[in-house]
Amino acid sequence: MHGVVDVQCTPIVGIDMWEHAYLQQYQGDKDAYVDQFFKCIQWGIVSANFEFNNSQGKPTPIAAD
């Protein structure tokens, strides 16, 4: 996340919101794309990544602006 935030953090979940990611399959319906994305997330892995990074002293972002 160099150059994105003031504090260097390790992202644990990310979503591509550029049109090339969702335009063809979702006809530009961002809400449907994001809804489907959240259905596919393996929250146990996200939680484990969050806990691991925190245990290593690496800042982990809670939310992005």
> How far apart are the C-alpha atoms of 48 and 58, rounded to whole Å?
14
Residue that has been written with the tokens 């990310």 in this structure: 14
**What is the number of domains present in the chain?**
1
Which pLDDT does position 1 carry in this prediction?
56
Tell me the pLDDT tens digit for each residue of 40-53.
Answer: 999 999 899 888 88
Residue ranges making up the domain that contains 26: 1-65
pTM as predicted: 0.64
Q: Is the CB of residue 22 less than 8 Å from the CB of residue 29?
A: yes
